[in-house]
Structure 1
Amino acid sequence: MTSSTETMPRASARPSAPHESSAEPKMSHRQILEAMSGLMLALLVAILSSTIVSNALPRIIADLHGSQGQYTWVVTAMLLTSTATTPLWGKLADLFSKKVLYQLAITIFTVGSVLGGFAQSMEALIGFRALQGIGMGGLQALIQVVIAAMVSPRERGRYSGYIGATFAVATVSGPLVGGVIVDTPWLGWRWCFWVTVPIAVIAFIVLGRVLKLPVVKRDIKIDWFGALFLVGGVSLLLIWVSLAGKSFDWLSPETGMFVGGGVLALLIAVIIESKHPEPIVPLRMFANPTVTMATIGTVSVGTAMFGGAVFLGQYFQIARGFTPTHAGLMTLPMVTGLFLSSTISGQIISRVTGKIKPFLLLGSVVMLAGMGLLSTIDHDTDLVLVGIYLFLMGSGVGMLMQNLVLAVQNASSSKNMGATTSVVTFFRTLGGSSGVSVLGAVLAMRVEEYVKEGLAGIPGAAQAMSSGGGTSDLDVGALPGPIQTIVRGAYGDAIGDIFFISACVAVVTLITALFIRESPLRTTVESNEELEEAGVAAREESTNSPAGEPAEVNGAPVPGAPIEQLPPVNGRIVGDLGEPGGGRVVHGVVRDSVGTPVPGVVLTLTDARGRQVERARTDSDGAYRVAVADGGSYVLIASGGSYQPTASMVAVGDGPVRHDVQLLGAGQLAGRVHNNGTGIVGAMVVLTDVRGEVVATEASGTHGEYSFADLVGGSYALTVTANGYRPVATPVTVTDGEQVELDVALQAGAELSGVIRSANLGVAVPDARVTLLDATGAVVGAATTDVDGRYHFTDLPDGEFTVIATGYPPVATSLRLAGQENTQDVELGYPEV
């Protein structure tokens, strides 16, 4: 697929604004999958880099002589910069090309990875991890924004499984690959940073070729001061959380400086954001309770997930004595649970229920239970139990991460999708980075306390530990045997305390899930409010439009235009259409692709469990009416005649609901490709629509026959090509529910060949120029003779031509072509004097 620039939909139903541009039609499922392949490769790079390095960190820290505090900073530095830059990436995605931004994020992340492999000290490694974090911020924020721009919320569950699968593959393979690299003497831990570079390059190329996204082009006013104070305030608070309790006391002048400066910067950022026309964080989005609750919940998920899981490598390698490879295998239950729960929940939401709250509640309970059970582990806990606990935690996280983002996206408008999505990601990583810092400090303190308790009964052990660097040195293998046992036990017991704190934080997620209001997932990328605004504009313009001419956006009718003019978009019409009667009633009109009412269509209304609620049949005007006993979400199935059946979600409240349905006809086109009545086998038949998009292709059969089914009514172009025949393009109109017969006759293309010779010497003339003119004198073709003086023209129609050969004085020869093969030799020479 060739590269394509990003454009924005054309709005023909309203006056064009200077800040909007036109756009491509909705991406097909195949195009979405192609784009998803590039996105998943980039996500694979990001997660692989994190998981490979995280499992190799104990060996890296030992090699570079790092401490527990520096261990935490290797993780925190990346989380800090990714957290601080996430809102910037999201806002830029609303203003600039998402594809270019995503490729830029990949580039920054890859450069940071390469430099990290060359680090010679802990300080350099932490700095390069911070650079990685800038790219990670873009990858985290933009992947959800890109998917939201391609897929409606209702269909997004079909693709969230791919994210879960990529996350699972990367999380499982990352520790294993990292362990193998670390355990291989001729590779070493530096290759943990370099091994993902080829994948990143592939992801960059794939995205450049297949990603095609809408982008709103409007007046760009970047909130630089808001971004400066926002990033500065968040960074100061994160640095304070990372250093407090280690470099200085929690209650100290340094704490006052960091916290005071951070809070002041954030207050200034809030003031700027409330006044700027294009704020980095749109504060008005928090007026929506769903966005507010989901944001609070995602902070807790980030704290619990990152804060608890990031120290698993230390638990398995230090407390249980496993190698990096084995430690990676021990996290397999957690990743399996995450993959299964995210995939299954996404498919159920997309294909069955359309509801996300049940999974938010279930995920919160399961995550809380898993972390509560993990808080009971120590250095002697049965590994089977540890695996079960990790599976529960992973299952809960899998049901929460994507669905919390989906809840926010469903409640947000498409023009601010980048900002709102990045804000959710921002708060999740904020919770994760602060959780890692706080829990890392708690871990170091608890390990030190447990070690002191264990050394109390060994004379002289405390002095030996002090002279050896204390418990801050993570090179446990260098310690004496009895002290190694005490330190490993201390780490095992302290990890349980970490998960206890994470479980307490996870309670907040459960509380917020209870207060998130269930809202039916929309089937369009645009929000209902945006559709209504388009409908208002359409109604206003319809008063100035010729009667019967429907208003359109993106080439499709706009909701809100007069019903008598307009077939619905996505099965929904917005506006006061005169709902009949009272009570819970679903009613509307069924039309075909050109807006004609369709009588006799059978409509079946089913509940969320697939049980039939009511049936109805459209009357002569295509109208229907179905009574509903209770409110809720239903599925309306429409089928009739030769039309393709359709299904759509209907949300019923306390009154009547207008829901019009558009049926697409299963039209057919068939015929025969022949030459003078003889069928042509293997001719390539291509059908394209009015936009030039290829709808279907087929090779003709043994008798030249071809057939296309399930076509939407409309105008098409049928093009037929075959070897030895001239290509033919024919317009054809397909009617909904009918079969059109169209035979195509191909004409054999004539060929002309010959040899150019010297009239005097009788030898072939190479490199002679041969030009072919038709009867009107127009140049049909030109060729140069080969070493044997031969020339050749193909695919010529029958008729009068002139061959002009030059090399010696030019010679012009007239001839008539008839049939497939023709020969005309030409003699060149100088006239005799």
Structure 2
Amino acid sequence: MSAETGERTGAGATAAVPAGAHPSASRARLWLLFTALALALLLSELDQTVFATALPTVVGELSGVQDMLWVGTAYMLAGTLALPVYGKLSDLLGRKPVLITGMLVFVAGSVLGGLSTDMGTLIAARAVQGLGGGGLIVLVQSVVADTVPARDRAPYLSAIGAVFALSAVAGPVVGGWLTEGVGWRWAFWVNLPLGGLAVLAVAVLLRHEPPRRDQPVQLDVAGTTTLAVAVTALVLLVSWGGTRLPWASPAALGLAALTVAATGVFVLVERRAAEPVIPLGLFADRTFTAAVLAGLVMAVAMFGTLGYLPTYLQMAAGLGPTAAGMAMLTLVAGLALATVGAAQLVRRTGRTKLLPLVGTVAVAAALGLLATLTPGTPLPLAGSYLLLLGLGIGCAWEVLVVVVQNTAPDAAVGTATATNSFFREIGVCLGSALVGALFTARLGALLADRLPAGAGVDADSLTPALADGLPPAVRAAVAGAYNDALTPVFALLVPVVLASTVLLLLVREVPLATTAPDAVGERDDLPGQRLE
């Protein structure tokens, strides 16, 4: 939404309500809708946190420790490729059919994952889940933008943040309970009833009104294809470079060349596309570009760290799956407090620039502290570092969504939101792949160097339960190897986060609109979200 829109709709305007509806009744229906949307989002977010805690046991049972990073990377790669497509299709066809389709695909991937008997099938299942779940966050944020003024949007987005907090709280605990109880496959099976309930709720509460168009929908097939090639080549390069492929090898150089070439072709295709999947004109706005790139850089550091903290707590600190999940609650507490507090500050002041700056500095400080961890670090002290990390993330993450949406044209909110999420997911993929590649490469070398000869330990099949049963000297060697493989990576991520701080200095403080687009009749082509 443009700055002019924010000024035009002034501080005296009120939030949009359906025509003829009583305001209090409309607000009640609005919250019912967002409850359904939050349930849909919980579908994918809970799965990721449940599975993160179960991952060490899963890869041990399936003898795939060296392929561990692909379990998460496959989900993120597929979800990243789907993100801009979801955003564009929802702008063209409406949010509801795209949202329900995504949830059904995610459930299908969960079925495949529950039936997995080897790492190949498991990785394929995670990719299918990514194709389904990758666009849910974009669609939820787009519906918020359609129905809530920018000035009042932060509390609703903080509710989305609460979903992340809930999944982060419940997921590790549930994942640990399932792993130690009925088995890790139930990390997939629990998605079936939750997914069915989410589909039913969205089908009932969200009405589909296709946008009015003078011309048939034109899908950007060429842009989507070239984008898929570029992203896939990039993720393969950072995942295999330095581990399976030497950086100077012909294969690695070929992947790098393919990434550059496909990106160049994508830019040329988008300039000519009738309905570009990522409109390049969005980047003409300095604030949009700075916020999107800052989110990408921050995602590299944050999610590269978060993806491996549960594994670290189990293998280095000696915690069980459930205890490791409980230890993550301090991070979640910081995230929840900062998200809610940031939302209220944005709503009261209308200012969005300072909070992300503070957040990135806090994240950098937390990563620096995490780099000092040892297997003997007291758990409360490690918890304080995680608390600071959560506070930093909560100050910045959802506020930047408001910044991006507030600078985008009203008719392209879905596409702009998807573009922002796409670049964030690129950062997530890069962060997870780079951290995973560095971590696993260092871990393999350290285990080979430190494990006593004849210890009889298969590093590829090492689970937390097996590690606990090792002789004390061997167990200490394993813990030290995991610690020394991961903590230096935390230190390397500090300047990465500070780079996002520099980018955020370029953000302009744009007035936030106080009326939703459909309240003032500014979006004739709005992809039709109305409360039943």
Cα distance, 1:347 vs structure 2: 1.7
The 8 Å contact of residues 78 and 127 in structure 2, kept in 1 or not, is answered as: yes
Partner of 2:29: 31
Partner of 2:323: 326
Structure 1 counterpart of 2:421, from 422, 425, 447: 425
Do residues 343 (structure 1) and 331 (structure 2) align?
Answer: no
> Within 5 A, what are the aligned runs for 1:108-507?
108-184=105-181, 187-212=182-207, 216-218=211-213, 219=215, 220-350=217-347, 352-451=348-447, 454-455=450-451, 461=452, 463-464=453-454, 468-469=457-458, 471-475=459-463, 477-478=465-466, 480-481=470-471, 482-507=473-498
Cα distance, 1:212 vs structure 2: 3.8
Partner of 1:569: none
Percent identical = 34
The RMSD of aligned alpha carbons is 2.4
Of the two, which has the highest radius of gyration?
1
Partner of 1:92: 89
Q: Deviations over 1:700-755 (max 9, x none)?
A: xxxxxxxxxxxxxxxxxxxxxxxxxxxxxxxxxxxxxxxxxxxxxxxxxxxxxxxx
- SS of 2:375's partner is coil
Alpha carbons of structure 1 residues 26 and 110: separation in structure 2 relative to 1, 3 Å: farther
Cα distance, 1:454 vs structure 2: 3.8
Amino acid at match of 1:201: G
Bigger fraction of residues in strand: 1
- SS of 2:509's partner is coil
Cα distance, 1:378 vs structure 2: 1.9
Cα distance, 1:196 vs structure 2: 2.4
Q: Distance in 1 between matches of 2:340 and 2:489?
A: 29
Partner of 2:76: 79
Amino acid at match of 2:463: D
The 8 Å contact of residues 476 and 487 in structure 1, kept in 2 or not, is answered as: no
The 8 Å contact of residues 412 and 527 in structure 1, kept in 2 or not, is answered as: no
User: Please, which moves more after superposition, 441-450 or 240-249?
Assistant: 441-450
Q: Distance in 1 between matches of 2:87 and 2:336?
A: 26
Do residues 508 (structure 1) and 490 (structure 2) align?
Answer: no
The 8 Å contact of residues 108 and 135 in structure 1, kept in 2 or not, is answered as: yes
Alpha carbons of structure 1 residues 371 and 213: separation in structure 2 relative to 1, 3 Å: farther
> Within 5 A, what are the aligned runs for 1:589-738?
none
The runs of 5 or more residues in structure 2 that have no matched partner are: 1-16
- SS of 2:454's partner is helix
TM-score (norm. length: structure 2): 0.90
> Within 5 A, what are the aligned runs for 1:528-547?
none
Structure 2 counterpart of 1:521, from 504, 512, 515: 512
Q: Distance in 2 between matches of 1:274 and 1:231?
A: 17
- SS of 1:497's partner is helix
The 8 Å contact of residues 160 and 343 in structure 1, kept in 2 or not, is answered as: no
Q: Deviations over 1:181-209 (max 9, x none)?
A: 1111xx11111111122111111111111
Q: Distance in 1 between matches of 2:157 and 2:210?
A: 22
- SS of 1:515's partner is coil
Cα distance, 1:144 vs structure 2: 1.1
Amino acid at match of 1:389: Y
Alpha carbons of structure 1 residues 404 and 215: separation in structure 2 relative to 1, 3 Å: farther
Q: Distance in 2 between matches of 1:399 and 1:381?
A: 27
Q: Deviations over 1:151-177 (max 9, x none)?
A: 111110121221122111111111111
Structure 2 counterpart of 1:55, from 53, 56, 59: 53
- SS of 1:464's partner is coil
Q: Distance in 2 between matches of 1:209 and 1:289?
A: 40
Q: Distance in 1 between matches of 2:32 and 2:420?
A: 26
Partner of 1:561: none
Q: Distance in 1 between matches of 2:316 and 2:521?
A: 55
Amino acid at match of 1:493: D
The 8 Å contact of residues 42 and 203 in structure 1, kept in 2 or not, is answered as: yes
- SS of 2:63's partner is coil
Alpha carbons of structure 1 residues 357 and 212: separation in structure 2 relative to 1, 3 Å: farther
Alpha carbons of structure 1 residues 105 and 52: separation in structure 2 relative to 1, 3 Å: same
Bigger fraction of residues in helix: 2
Amino acid at match of 1:383: L
Q: Distance in 2 between matches of 1:529 and 1:281?
A: 27
Q: Distance in 1 between matches of 2:408 and 2:30?
A: 21
Q: Distance in 1 between matches of 2:447 and 2:64?
A: 19
User: Please, which moves more after superposition, 361-370 or 99-108?
Assistant: 361-370
The 8 Å contact of residues 86 and 137 in structure 1, kept in 2 or not, is answered as: yes
Alpha carbons of structure 1 residues 318 and 265: separation in structure 2 relative to 1, 3 Å: same
Q: Distance in 2 between matches of 1:40 and 1:237?
A: 32
Q: Distance in 2 between matches of 1:56 and 1:307?
A: 18
Alpha carbons of structure 1 residues 349 and 372: separation in structure 2 relative to 1, 3 Å: same
Amino acid at match of 1:208: A
Alpha carbons of structure 1 residues 170 and 528: separation in structure 2 relative to 1, 3 Å: closer
Q: Distance in 2 between matches of 1:496 and 1:426?
A: 28
Amino acid at match of 1:525: A
Cα distance, 1:504 vs structure 2: 2.1
- SS of 2:248's partner is coil
Q: Distance in 2 between matches of 1:530 and 1:503?
A: 46
Cα distance, 1:472 vs structure 2: 4.3
